Structure 1
């Protein structure tokens, strides 16, 4: 096997209390990766991972902060969500493919390709002169982002044993949390003090830095085989079918209840055909694919199945507060863009602390199931408390609720991935990891679609009531219903102003109520996770 950097073979022979088999030692030696990951090259690579997680956290969070002002700039609030949706669609749909490609062509080339797409997408975003161009450019950005975050998590599994992985995953996730906290302030400052284009030019610089980190710091072995052999291993059929299915479903989630009603022919057709093609994908992968991008046999393992489907609800529960709390701050509290972003800061800081603490606990005790249980309860409690938010809610309440949610997020984000990885063979580690991250992204889109639909329907009813109550201000109320930023710009009597604020508050409360069932389902899923001992010998993940 061709190895980029030669690392000493492992001396550790314990494997969950068993003796390491000779063939496993031979594989480890051939791979050239020490089981403990404590060689100089392993430490350099891990430093690179830490830097990547920090950079990824900066650009992903900052982009989420600036999408609303961008829509105002182009006077196209109706399509504001598409600045996020186009990014999420390509990110989500490409994640399973990236995982398998990294098994075949290698982690470093795959991440280098992803950083190229990130660079091109960011550059096009910075020079966009229309909403259409910006939406398309965000989609290109999403293609690159899909590979970056996905493969970073896979690389940790390449380098470290399961027992060590909890702590190291915790440190890398804390880097992302700190970056997210900083990005909220940076993004808000850019919007308030400069042009939104500055954020994308900053992304261009970050993508260049990411490329340098990938090429210089990531010292990883290459998969064996010639180019022709690697090409023959790629599951083109499965990739095409999965892309078609995922994109159709994600389009339905993006359109439903927002641009089109859920009962519209366009939305229904996307759901029906997306589901049918999804069934075709399962059949193709199970019986026809030579090397499937998602082997169906993985779901015969209880913990893998629970972890993968648990990520669907985990992504939903954790994404909702980060989307709706800044909106609540902007509309109901009339904050500045910087201040609205700061409302999510307690979440990020609590997550950073929690993920490190839980990572150390996992490494020291070898127990991860209890961390999942604790985190799921925190998420249920935190999301339920959001229902209590009102127009007069003090800042302390919001901070407390977000801290609880952040602790839950930090306790689960890496332990849920670890749950799936422990149940998978080494050769399936990358596929299992990307399946989890894909489902988390899908859950994020699902909750935005469902909660936005619930909120929008409630808002329509309440705006109709407001117009009936104040017919003399029907025109102004209608304008605010289409552009919520006008609520603090129009000269309205206090009672009309209060009525409109109540409309937005009631619609957001309806969305928070709709979030609770997602939290309950997540608690029930992780309650079924079985404890499996963590290996102290690294599995061979690159063939």
Structure 2
């Protein structure tokens, strides 16, 4: 078998997915075995089309039919000694995984419409952005670690552990007595949520053949998209009609149900790794440097220009030492770690980097819209928390449909590149259009722009992941999936942090106008970090002052809306997949 080239691209034939079923027992055993580092395993890179064992598959690489794909999976399961799962069991497993994804995604955006109420109750305008940022920063930092730990101790035990951590974090958030406790609880939630989302994707990779994964990833992508978009609606409804605390209480029964189903139904192989040996196999130095570097960089971006000036020692030290620590992480992975947290070969192949680049830009753009559009609806259009969520329905419905449709398309055709290009094009058009939103934009414009954006966001929830998994050896699928999750969460966290900094700096620049029109006392409520927490005050102002405040918010929100605009185009310019013919 020929070695993998250093600068590979995906040809038209290579980007057609095979139907070979995975063997999680063998893959899990080899994932932390020293011998695995030198053994080459079969991947889609190694030939134009892999044998699929599916009846009706032609030797010349024609796409398998749906029935053939199912037959190949069943046959391969029987040959590899995997359990034969009934449709009911698969449905139960997918239900539990979908619940886990729903809760993790919901908690990214469910607080967006509740934040003004939370900040007002705890008298902490400065904690406004931290409630969201803390969750995503912890989520990002924890993701790669959980993927590697699951290689050592097995998917099911670690999935249950992360489920329990998320449960505890949700409970603590629901009973928080001050802003500091709530932020700490969100960190715990993020640690558990980072493990849940990456392990869901890894479990699907272990359960289903490559061609079959498209449909199941499509389901997961649809759930993620729908939950992220519905979060503001649910959060607004609970905040307005019950209490913001129910944004977190609502997780508990569903999380418990998912835990029970996973415990009883999920039957993936669990290695009998002794605890001490397993702990020794964890890349502790790599984990420490990766977590520390990520947190320092994100904190530096969070503080810059708002809490501290950009040229302050605090901000400069956080960013500089964060970058140096991340560089140290790569040195540790390359030279010191016997079982690296991330396979660095992943970053030396152009097609892999293209898939990860699409992942980053997709997360950056989508979360920016999910976070700042509800603020636009409340501050500029005067919507209540629940209505600001309802106004996001065009995005939620369009992206959920196209995410699910993409999964079906990939399953039927085995082609993922058309989905990636299609999504990037519409994402650029949709989010680029948001620049045109002002204080008096028509509803037709708002709805059409959201639908276009949703059409673009939907296909790329799972297409880049399928592309990445098809490009790496089987032994690296778990760590590659964890890396993908890390990049996605990092893009989300950076989007919120940088978008918040831009918004707060822009609203601060409106200070003289607000002081002259509203008076110093009222204007101070809309200064920098206080602005997002006091949007409800706008509707209490007299009409002339209300117009000034709304225009100030509209002008200040335009940069965060426009900030992601270059990113989809940049992603298109840097995706070096060869076009399919």
Does 2:166 correspond to 1:118? yes
Q: Which residue of 1 aligns with 2:566?
A: 517
Q: Which residue of 2 aligns with 1:529?
A: 577
Q: Distance in 1 between matches of 2:562 and 2:99?
A: 38
Q: Distance in 2 between matches of 1:169 and 1:47?
A: 13
Of 139, 142, 147, the residue aligned with 1:91 is: 139
1:125-140 matches, cutoff 5 A:
125-140=173-188
> SS at 1:515's partner residue?
coil
Deviations 1:182-209 (A, max 9, x none): 5443321111111112222222223222
Whether the aligned pair in 2 keeps the contact of 1:51 and 1:213 (CA below 8 Å) is no
Of 538, 546, 552, the residue aligned with 1:488 is: 538
Q: Which residue of 2 aligns with 1:13?
A: 53
TM-score when scaled to structure 2? 0.83
Count of residues in correspondence between the two structures: 517
Of 364, 367, 382, the residue aligned with 2:412 is: 364
1:424 CA displacement: 0.7
Q: Distance in 2 between matches of 1:477 and 1:194?
A: 30
Deviations 1:291-331 (A, max 9, x none): 10102112223221221233222211111111111000100
Whether the aligned pair in 1 keeps the contact of 2:159 and 2:196 (CA below 8 Å) is yes
Q: Distance in 2 between matches of 1:18 and 1:32?
A: 29
Does 2:522 correspond to 1:476? yes
Shift in alpha-carbon separation, 1:523–1:124, aligned structure 2, 3 A: same
Shift in alpha-carbon separation, 1:486–1:58, aligned structure 2, 3 A: closer
1:16 CA displacement: 9.9
Q: Distance in 2 between matches of 1:139 and 1:463?
A: 33
1:216-295 matches, cutoff 5 A:
216-223=264-271, 225-295=273-343
1:27-66 matches, cutoff 5 A:
32-33=81-82, 41-66=89-114
Shift in alpha-carbon separation, 1:378–1:425, aligned structure 2, 3 A: same
Whether the aligned pair in 1 keeps the contact of 2:379 and 2:536 (CA below 8 Å) is no
Whether the aligned pair in 2 keeps the contact of 1:2 and 1:224 (CA below 8 Å) is no
Q: Which residue of 2 aligns with 1:350?
A: 398
Of 122, 129, 154, the residue aligned with 1:74 is: 122
TM-score when scaled to structure 1? 0.88
1:463 CA displacement: 2.2
Q: Distance in 2 between matches of 1:314 and 1:463?
A: 33
Whether the aligned pair in 2 keeps the contact of 1:62 and 1:186 (CA below 8 Å) is yes
Of 248, 251, 261, the residue aligned with 1:203 is: 251
1:462 CA displacement: 2.1
Q: Distance in 1 between matches of 2:313 and 2:455?
A: 42
Whether the aligned pair in 1 keeps the contact of 2:226 and 2:399 (CA below 8 Å) is no
327-336 vs 293-302, greater mean Cα deviation: 293-302
Q: Distance in 1 between matches of 2:391 and 2:309?
A: 31
Shift in alpha-carbon separation, 1:531–1:96, aligned structure 2, 3 A: farther
Deviations 1:403-450 (A, max 9, x none): 111111111110011111110111111111111121111112222232
Shift in alpha-carbon separation, 1:261–1:213, aligned structure 2, 3 A: farther
Of 477, 484, 487, the residue aligned with 1:429 is: 477
Q: Which residue of 1 aligns with 2:555?
A: 506
Deviations 1:462-503 (A, max 9, x none): 222343x54x723322333334325425544x3333222211
Q: Distance in 2 between matches of 1:311 and 1:175?
A: 17
Q: Distance in 2 between matches of 1:145 and 1:352?
A: 21
Calculate the aligned-residue CA RMSD, in Å. 2.8
Q: Which residue of 2 aligns with 1:444?
A: 492
> SS at 2:440's partner residue?
coil
Q: Distance in 2 between matches of 1:394 and 1:180?
A: 25
Of 540, 543, 546, the residue aligned with 1:497 is: 546
1:371-410 matches, cutoff 5 A:
371-410=419-458
199-208 vs 290-299, greater mean Cα deviation: 199-208
Q: Which residue of 1 aligns with 2:212?
A: 164
Whether the aligned pair in 2 keeps the contact of 1:463 and 1:477 (CA below 8 Å) is yes
> SS at 1:280's partner residue?
helix
Shift in alpha-carbon separation, 1:465–1:272, aligned structure 2, 3 A: same
Q: Which residue of 1 aligns with 2:7?
A: none
Q: Distance in 2 between matches of 1:379 and 1:141?
A: 29
Q: Which residue of 1 aligns with 2:34?
A: none
Q: Distance in 1 between matches of 2:100 and 2:521?
A: 50
1:264 CA displacement: 1.9
Which consecutive unaligned segments of at least 5 residues does structure 2 have? 1-22, 26-50, 62-73
Q: Which residue of 2 aligns with 1:541?
A: none
Deviations 1:224-276 (A, max 9, x none): 54444433321112111111111111211222233223222111111111111
Deviations 1:332-369 (A, max 9, x none): 11111000111222212111100111111111111111
1:26 CA displacement: 12
Q: Distance in 2 between matches of 1:455 and 1:262?
A: 15
Deviations 1:42-86 (A, max 9, x none): 454334323433444444442444233211111211211111111
1:399 CA displacement: 1.6
Whether the aligned pair in 2 keeps the contact of 1:417 and 1:433 (CA below 8 Å) is yes
Q: Distance in 1 between matches of 2:251 and 2:98?
A: 18
Which consecutive unaligned segments of at least 5 residues does structure 1 have? 4-10, 20-24, 534-543
Whether the aligned pair in 1 keeps the contact of 2:419 and 2:463 (CA below 8 Å) is yes
Whether the aligned pair in 2 keeps the contact of 1:92 and 1:441 (CA below 8 Å) is yes
